[in-house]
């Protein structure tokens, strides 16, 4: 034992152990097992201190034993960290790919330089693209950001060999993996099939009457609200999208539109998503944080809330089919952890995204009053005798779809894109760049959709580019991917389009909307937060009724 302790005092031995640790682990992914290393190091160095106190010759007081173990830990971790940084900086397989220097050492740089203080990381991605003028930028120790549409089939397309990155599994230890967060392709395929059934054309037809009821309820509340000089539209579209999700997802009435006030549950959802804005960049940090009581609390509260909603849903047989009619196993009353995770997925994926998009559509229509008038003309021509337009009535209005697409192009609800990891053999992009295997790849949707190579006059709100009027303004349609693309694309996109069409059409039919006094859209532009999905800043509008009171 004494001999062993002497070895542990030897700085060269400690340094060699650190180098060996780095050598063994450097090609592995340890983002979601970092806590195991922390545990092992704590046990080893604490054990060393205790053994030193009990058997060693150099430390016979507690203070001396603590000093001995701390100094051994400092040498070991110091060498380990130095070795990691040297490797990342100068020897890594990505060393030839240009990008901000600090980002190759640590993703904390991206948090401080890109996320904080505005929480709009996609703008930093855009800035880097302008600065480096190249399609592949190294934005992390083992991460690249790719800006060209040619790479989409390889990274996101149906035949892509990339898989989801470690970000997805960051908090799976709390509530289990959802269909969205599982990284296992086979498991995803199996679970996705049920979702496909729940949201296919036939099922959507079953949900239509409820969509109509919710849009109608929203319009009647807005008619009351329109008497005020200023209406916080962002709140109302949030209430609407949550109510729809509660009803179509779980046959449950959240009643937010009726009450006209934000439910605690919306706050809870946003709180549970906030850590993603920062920890989306430091995957191991997300995993560690959610292993602490304080870090896990908002997520845990939201998981428990959605699990309860599902538990109650599982006890009833709703009169009208809902999404969980398809997802729940009819042979058992037990709700599996998988399904609990999917219940949270439904709430997160289905509500904030739609609400944010409705808010951005309204923002663009307030900013572009001529487009608003043109849209109104188109909408007025549809079923003029009806006071409320139903989903079916607005299913084929090209200009309406143009407005929606254009708002999603300029303001995608998942602006920074989604994380993928290259297959072990890597991928070779059409431009000749080779991205090695097991590298994290992001394609910022916000940047692709504002790229002049793919959209003429990219910063102009031009719904006509999506209609017969100006199709040449869409140069490469592949770059338009607000719902992502490939096997992991948005399963709810048809439902989302039905909601967006129905609310936008009725809003424009019933009201002329303009920015409220003192509002110019700055808040929504500057205060929207990218927390994977967007938590939009406020938008206040003036609503001039077009109907007879």
State the minimum distance, in angstroms, from the CB of residue 418 to ligand HEM: 4
Residues in region 385-414 near ligand HEM by CB under 6 A: 413-414
Contact yes or no for 547/223 (Cβ under 8 A) = yes
Q: Is 496 in the site for ligand HEM (CB under 6 A)?
A: yes
> What is the rounded distance in angstroms from the CA atom of residue 222 to the CA atom of residue 543?
8
Considering the complex, state which of residue 322 and residue 378 has its C-beta at the smaller distance from ligand HEM: 322
Contacts of 396 (CB under 8 A, 6+ apart): none
Would you put residue 453 in left (φ > 0), alpha (ψ -120 to 50) or beta?
alpha
Considering the complex, state which of residue 49 and residue 402 has its C-beta at the smaller distance from ligand HEM: 402
Looking at 350, 402, 415, 444, which residue binds ligand HEM (CB under 6 A)?
Answer: 350
Q: Is 361 in the site for ligand HEM (CB under 6 A)?
A: no
> What is the rounded distance in angstroms from the CA atom of residue 46 to the CA atom of residue 310?
45
Considering the complex, state which of residue 69 and residue 160 has its C-beta at the smaller distance from ligand HEM: 160
Q: Is 488 in the site for ligand HEM (CB under 6 A)?
A: yes
Q: Is 491 in the site for ligand HEM (CB under 6 A)?
A: yes
Considering the complex, state which of residue 8 and residue 269 has its C-beta at the smaller distance from ligand HEM: 269
Considering the complex, state which of residue 21 and residue 449 has its C-beta at the smaller distance from ligand HEM: 449
Looking at 136, 349, 441, 541, which residue binds ligand HEM (CB under 6 A)?
Answer: 349
Two tokens at 54? Answer: 């009990």
Helix, strand, or coil (residue 421): strand
Angle, CA 154 vertex, CA 153 and CA 156 arms, to 5°: 65
Handedness of CA 423, 273, 188, 193 (dihedral sign): negative
> What is the rounded distance in angstroms from the CA atom of residue 503 to the CA atom of residue 84?
52
> What is the rounded distance in angstroms from the CA atom of residue 431 to the CA atom of residue 397?
38
Two tokens at 510? Answer: 């019933």
State the minimum distance, in angstroms, from the CB of residue 12 to ligand HEM: 46
> What is the rounded distance in angstroms from the CA atom of residue 510 to the CA atom of residue 548?
10
> What is the rounded distance in angstroms from the CA atom of residue 171 to the CA atom of residue 181?
9
Q: Is 339 in the site for ligand HEM (CB under 6 A)?
A: no
Environment class of residue 381 by beta-carbon count within 10 Å: exposed (0-12), middle (13-18) or buried (19+)? exposed
State the minimum distance, in angstroms, from the CB of residue 40 to ligand HEM: 32
State the minimum distance, in angstroms, from the CB of residue 397 to ligand HEM: 17
Considering the complex, state which of residue 95 and residue 193 has its C-beta at the smaller distance from ligand HEM: 193
What are the helix (H) ranges across 329-474?
A: 337-347, 353-367, 369-380, 398-410, 445-448
State the minimum distance, in angstroms, from the CB of residue 274 to ligand HEM: 18
Q: Is 485 in the site for ligand HEM (CB under 6 A)?
A: no
State the minimum distance, in angstroms, from the CB of residue 353 to ligand HEM: 3
State the minimum distance, in angstroms, from the CB of residue 486 to ligand HEM: 9
State the minimum distance, in angstroms, from the CB of residue 478 to ligand HEM: 15
| Residue 474: strand pairing partners | 455
Show the site string, 166-205: x = touches ligand HEM by CB under 6 A, - = not. Answer: -------------xx-----------x--x---x------
State the minimum distance, in angstroms, from the CB of residue 189 to ligand HEM: 9
Considering the complex, state which of residue 21 and residue 340 has its C-beta at the smaller distance from ligand HEM: 340
Handedness of CA 460, 463, 469, 470 (dihedral sign): positive
State the minimum distance, in angstroms, from the CB of residue 204 to ligand HEM: 10
Which stretch, 331-339, 343-351, 421-429, 464-472, contacts ligand HEM (CB under 6 A)?
343-351
Considering the complex, state which of residue 251 and residue 357 has its C-beta at the smaller distance from ligand HEM: 357
Find the residue with minimal CB distance to ligand HEM. Answer: 492
Residues in region 138-167 near ligand HEM by CB under 6 A: none
Asked whether residue 366 is marked as a ligand-binding residue, the answer is no
Show the site string, 237-276: x = touches ligand HEM by CB under 6 A, - = not. Answer: ----------------------------------------
For residue 370, CA distances in Å to 82, 212, 367 come to: 59, 28, 9
Looking at 269, 347, 418, 531, which residue binds ligand HEM (CB under 6 A)?
Answer: 418
Alpha-carbon radius of gyration of the chain: 27
> What is the rounded distance in angstroms from the CA atom of residue 303 to the CA atom of residue 345?
10
Residue 49, H or E segment? helix 34-55
What are the helix (H) ranges across 226-368?
A: 233-244, 250, 256-259, 264-279, 283-289, 293-314, 323-327, 337-347, 353-367
Looking at 139, 235, 238, 354, which residue binds ligand HEM (CB under 6 A)?
Answer: 354
State the minimum distance, in angstroms, from the CB of residue 193 to ligand HEM: 10
Which stretch, 384-392, 436-444, 450-458, 490-498, contacts ligand HEM (CB under 6 A)?
490-498
> What is the rounded distance in angstroms from the CA atom of residue 376 to the CA atom of residue 505?
8
Considering the complex, state which of residue 126 and residue 342 has its C-beta at the smaller distance from ligand HEM: 342
Cα within 13 Å of Cα(350), Cβ side = 26
Looking at 345, 391, 427, 503, which residue binds ligand HEM (CB under 6 A)?
Answer: 345
Give the DSSP per-residue string, 438-457.
T-EEE--HHHHTT-TTTBSS
Listed residue (499, 492, 504) closest to 213, CA to CA: 499
Which stretch, 8-16, 56-64, 135-143, 350-358, contacts ligand HEM (CB under 6 A)?
350-358
Residues in region 37-96 near ligand HEM by CB under 6 A: none
Which stretch, 4-12, 14-22, 310-318, 488-496, contacts ligand HEM (CB under 6 A)?
488-496
Interface with ligand HEM by CB under 6 A: which residues?
179-180, 192, 195, 199, 345-346, 349-350, 353-354, 357, 413-414, 418, 482-484, 488, 490-492, 495-496
Annotated binding residues, written as ranges, equal 490
Point out the annotated binding site for heme.
490
């Amino acid at each position: 034992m004494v001999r062993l302790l002497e070895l542990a005092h030897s700085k060269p031995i400690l340094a060699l152990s650190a180098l060996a640790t780095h050598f063994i682990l450097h090609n592995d992914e340890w983002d979601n097992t970092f806590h195991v290393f922390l545990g092992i190091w704590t046990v080893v160095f604490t054990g060393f201190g205790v053994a030193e106190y009990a058997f060693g010759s150099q430390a016979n007081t507690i203070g001396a034993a603590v000093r001995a173990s701390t100094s051994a830990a400092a040498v070991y971790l110091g060498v380990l960290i130095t070795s990691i940084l040297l490797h990342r900086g100068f020897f890594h397989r990505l060393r030839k790919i240009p990008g901000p220097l600090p980002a190759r050492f640590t993703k904390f740089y991206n948090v401080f330089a890109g996320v904080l203080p505005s929480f709009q990381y996609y703008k930093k991605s855009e800035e880097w693209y302008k600065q480096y003028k190249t399609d592949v930028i190294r934005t992390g120790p083992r991460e690249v950001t790719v800006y060209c549409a040619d790479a989409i089939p390889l990274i996101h397309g149906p035949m892509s060999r990339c898989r989801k990155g470690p970000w997805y599994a960051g908090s799976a230890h709390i509530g289990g993996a959802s269909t969205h967060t599982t990284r296992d392709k086979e498991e995803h395929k199996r679970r996705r099939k049920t979702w496909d059934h729940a949201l296919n054309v036939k099922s959507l037809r079953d949900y239509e009457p409820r969509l109509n009821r919710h849009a109608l309820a929203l319009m009647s509340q807005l008619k009351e609200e329109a008497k005020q000089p200023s209406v916080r539209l962002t709140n109302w579209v949030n209430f609407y999208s949550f109510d729809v999700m509660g009803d179509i997802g779980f046959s449950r009435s959240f009643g937010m539109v009726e009450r006209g006030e934000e439910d605690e549950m919306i706050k809870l959802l946003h709180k549970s998503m906030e850590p993603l804005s920062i920890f989306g960049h430091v995957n191991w940090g997300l995993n560690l944080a959610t292993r602490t009581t304080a870090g896990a609390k908002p997520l845990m509260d939201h998981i428990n809330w959605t699990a309860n909603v599902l538990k109650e849903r599982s006890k009833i047989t709703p009169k009208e089919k809902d999404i969980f009619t398809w997802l729940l196993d009819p042979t058992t009353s037990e709700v599996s952890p998988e399904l609990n995770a999917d219940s949270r997925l439904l709430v997160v994926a289905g509500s904030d995204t739609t609400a944010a998009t409705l808010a951005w559509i309204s923002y663009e229509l307030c900013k572009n009053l001529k487009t608003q008038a043109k849209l109104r003309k188109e909408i007025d021509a549809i079923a003029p005798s009806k006071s409320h337009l139903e989903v079916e009535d607005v299913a084929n209005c090209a200009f309406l779809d143009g407005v929606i697409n254009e708002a999603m192009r300029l303001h995608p609800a998942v602006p920074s894109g989604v994380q993928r990891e290259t297959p072990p053999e890597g991928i070779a992009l059409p431009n000749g760049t080779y991205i090695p295997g097991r590298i994290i790849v992001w394609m910022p949707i916000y940047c692709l959709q504002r790229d002049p190579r793919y959209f003429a006059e990219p910063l102009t709100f031009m719904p006509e580019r999506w209609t017969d009027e100006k199709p040449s303004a869409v140069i490469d349609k592949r770059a338009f991917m607000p719902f992502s693309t490939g096997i992991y694309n948005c399963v709810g996109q048809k439902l989302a389009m039905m909601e967006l069409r129905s609310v936008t059409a009725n809003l424009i039919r019933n009201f002329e909307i303009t920015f409220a006094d003192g509002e110019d859209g700055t808040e929504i532009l500057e205060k929207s937060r990218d927390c994977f999905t967007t938590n939009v800043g406020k938008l206040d509008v003036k609503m001039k009724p077009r109907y007879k009171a």
